[in-house]
Amino acid sequence: MFQKSSKDGFSFKVYRGAQMTLLTMDLAQQPATGTFAGFTLERYVVG
Is the pLDDT assigned to residue 36 strictly greater than 80?
no
Provide the pLDDT confidence category of residue 10 given band limits of 50, 70 and 90. Answer: confident
Q: Say if 16 falls within a structural domain.
A: yes
Give the integer Cα–Cα distance in Å for 44 and 47. Answer: 10
Distance CA 23, CA 16 (A): 9
pTM: 0.54
Give the model's confidence band at 44: pLDDT under 50 very low, under 70 low, under 90 confident, else very high: confident
pLDDT at position 28 is 85
Residue 18 lies in a domain: yes
Please check whether residue 38 lies inside any domain of the structure.
Answer: no
Q: How many Cα atoms within 13 Å fall on the side-chain side of residue 18?
A: 0
In a domain, 3, yes or no: yes
Count of the separate structural domains present in the chain = 1
Residue 45 counted as domain residue: no
What residues make up the domain containing 6?
Answer: 1-29
